[in-house]
Amino acid sequence: MPAARMRAVVSEPRSGHDPGMPSPIYLDNAATTRPTERVARAMQDAQREWFGNPSSKHAFGAGPKKHLADAREFLRGTLGAAEIVFTSGGSEADYLGIVGAASVRSPGRVLMAASDHPAILETAEPLGRMRCHVSVLPVTRDGDIGAETLFNALGADVRVVALMHGHNELGTLSDLEELVALVRRTSPEAHVHVDLVQSYGKIPFDLDAMDIDSVAVSAHKFHGPKGAGFLGLSSKARIGALMRAGGQENGLRGGTENLAGAIGTMIAAEDALLHQRRSKERMESMCQLVEDAVRDEFPDARRLGNPDRRLPHILSLQIPGIVGESLMLRCDVRGVAFSIGSACHGQTAPKRDPKKPDNHVLAAVGMGYQEAREVIRVSFSRETTLEEVEIAATVIVEEAQALLRASPAAGGRR
């Protein structure tokens, strides 16, 4: 393709937005966030100025090596971790934390929840090849593991326990302190891995104080780059390498390091932590604004997840009589984007029971097929404005009303 044409293609807007219309409003930040200008500039500078291989012994490797070490040390400090292993994102960090921990232990059981992210649940296959048995535990209506359920599943044969700190679809924050204490009392040798993908940078967290062995973090969930993340390890964590290659990352993850990604992650983390308290309060108020607007018109609407322990940026709503996908598509036409679940649900999953939800999370919390179809997920970020939320709330309510009017059955219920 000629260079001029290539530039033209790259510069074309990809959202289909009409320049004469109001700017589209993005409320799917649990799926991904937009990198800040500061992150983008720092990464561009790193690509140009520090292009040398950090493993090279000559002068061109010294600068990249130092910047990589600085990023690693900063991120290590944000968690109270003993070691940081850079990965391609949260999914790889989950995989390395769970499967890597099982690989250095004798065969036994690995515990996880039925509502967990696919990045955790899909470790079952490699764990099976290691002769580990995966126990998928039932969850509460809020999507987290109950203390009694975990206690009953623990035992001397448990090798790894995988937990999610903040649920990506329901917004529920698990009671990690209680759950980890149970593991340490009953299965003291088990490796405790925690998925921090949705909560890092939004909720204060200290790996060392929590007595957790490993945590997974993904940069693009807090205005950092895609394809970058890390596994945080405690001083007593034992994990094995799953990709040795060149021996990078202290032998735990081979391959030339993504310096620009590491720097972008560091900058994004610094900004997130600097604004953490204020951002948390703003996003909580945004969730409440949309919830109130919907419930004013649809009193039967309900917010999913735990009402007392929840992430500040995720609002999962069921609006009876309104098909979530239809509402999402109608709002998208009007420039308001949100989702009906995680962007990471497998596209090739086998067909489930038609009476049960296709969404494994909503099935795990006991929702029926029709109920699950009525769920939407709206998620905010530090960059979301109050004006955007007010407009979005109006659009969501108006389009939900239009759908209700078009449905005789739903109109009759109302």
Q: Domain end: 224, 248, 273, which one?
A: 273
Q: Domain end: 254, 273, 292, which one?
A: 273
**Residue 68 and residue 216 share a domain:** yes
Give Cβ neighbours of residue 172 (< 8 Å, ≥ 6 apart). Answer: 142, 143, 144, 166, 305, 306, 309, 310, 311
The predicted structure's pLDDT at residue 18:
54
Give Cβ neighbours of residue 340 (< 8 Å, ≥ 6 apart). Answer: 324, 325, 328, 375, 376, 377
The predicted structure's pLDDT at residue 6:
28
B/e letters for 155-189, b = 16+ CB within 10 Å, e = fewer, are eeebbbbbbbbbbbbbbbbbbbeebbebbeebbee
Distances 412 to 75, 170, 226, 294, 404 between C-alpha atoms, Å: 55, 29, 46, 19, 9
Residue 344 a catalytic site member: yes
**Residue 222 and residue 129 share a domain:** yes
User: Which of 110-114, 164-168, 404-408 shows the lowest per-residue confidence on average (mean pLDDT)?
Assistant: 404-408
Which entry of 132, 287, 331, 344 is annotated as an active-site residue?
Answer: 344
pLDDT digits (tens, 9 = 90+) for 60-99: 999 999 999 999 999 999 999 999 999 999 999 999 999 9
When pLDDT is averaged across residues 297-308 and rounded to a whole number, the result is: 96
Distances 124 to 30, 134, 266, 268 between C-alpha atoms, Å: 25, 6, 31, 32
Q: Is the pLDDT of residue 407 over 90?
A: no
**Residue 63 and residue 9 share a domain:** no
When pLDDT is averaged across residues 231-237 and rounded to a whole number, the result is: 97
Structural domain count of the chain: 2
pLDDT digits (tens, 9 = 90+) for 328-370: 999 999 999 999 965 555 444 445 566 678 899 999 999 999 9
**Residue 196 and residue 211 share a domain:** yes
CATH of the domain at 57: 3.40.640.10
**Residue 227 and residue 293 share a domain:** no
Percent of the chain past pLDDT 90, that is, above it, reads 84
**Residue 237 and residue 309 share a domain:** no
The helix (run of H) or strand (run of E) holding residue 154 is none
pLDDT digits (tens, 9 = 90+) for 281-296: 999 999 999 999 999 9
Nearest to 120 by CA among 141, 138, 96: 96
The predicted structure's pLDDT at residue 277:
96
The predicted structure's pLDDT at residue 212:
97
**Residue 286 and residue 179 share a domain:** no
**Residue 242 and residue 201 share a domain:** yes
The predicted structure's pLDDT at residue 245:
83
CA of residue 87 relative to chain centroid, distance? 15
Q: Is the pLDDT of residue 298 over 80?
A: yes
- Separation of alpha carbons 409 and 399, rounded Å: 17
The predicted structure's pLDDT at residue 408:
67
- Separation of alpha carbons 52 and 34, rounded Å: 27
Which position has the higher pLDDT, 356 or 3?
356
Q: Beta 336-337 vs 314-318: how paired, if at all?
A: unpaired
User: Which of 5-9, 254-258, 269-273, 284-288 shows the lowest per-residue confidence on average (mean pLDDT)?
Assistant: 5-9
Question: Which 3 state secondary structure label does DSSP give 119?
Answer: helix
Parent domain of 139: 38-273
Q: Is the pLDDT of residue 12 over 70?
A: no
When pLDDT is averaged across residues 388-405 and rounded to a whole number, the result is: 96
Band (20; pLDDT cuts 50, 70, 90): low
**Residue 210 and residue 170 share a domain:** yes
Q: Is the pLDDT of residue 4 over 50?
A: no
Q: Domain end: 273, 299, 317, which one?
A: 273
The predicted structure's pLDDT at residue 244:
79
Determine if residue 326 is left, alpha or beta; phi over 0 gives left, psi from -120 to 50 gives alpha, anything else beta. alpha
CATH of the domain at 11: 3.90.1150.10
Band (227; pLDDT cuts 50, 70, 90): very high
Nearest to 97 by CA among 194, 173, 228: 194
**Residue 85 and residue 68 share a domain:** yes
**Residue 364 and residue 238 share a domain:** no
Averaged pLDDT of the chain: 90
**Residue 405 and residue 257 share a domain:** no
